[in-house]
Amino acid sequence: MDEPHRLSYTWVSGGENTTVTWTLKQDAEGTTHVHLDQTGFKEEQAFSGALYGWQSMANQLEKVLAD
């Protein structure tokens, strides 16, 4: 953890042991940008599943923020 800029943790699921890192960065206008990175996949199918899941959650977050 590099509070309040970065949080990393391990995510173990389906035989995969990956690292998830969230990074927050504020630009000159005061907008906070969120970056998600998940590394360490061994199987393409697990990567594809994670990509689908994170995209779904990002879409839900976008809807919440729009309201």
pTM of full prediction above 0.95:
no
State residue 16's pLDDT score.
Answer: 95
List C-alpha distances in Å: 36 to 20, 25, 67.
7, 12, 22
Q: Is the pLDDT of residue 18 over 90?
A: yes
Distance of CA 25 to the CA centre of its chain: 14
Could you tell me the residue ranges of all domains in the chain?
A: 6-66
Instruction: Determine the pLDDT at residue 44.
Output: 95
pLDDT-based confidence at residue 14 (cuts at 50, 70, 90):
confident
24, pLDDT greater than 90: yes
Calpha distance 51→37 (Å, rounded): 10
Give the model confidence (pLDDT) of 33-63 as tens digits. Answer: 999 999 999 999 999 999 999 999 999 999 9
Closest by Cα among 52, 3, 42, 48 to 19: 42
Of the candidates 1, 33, 55, which has an alpha carbon nearest to the alpha carbon of residue 47? 55
- One-letter amino acid at 29 equals E
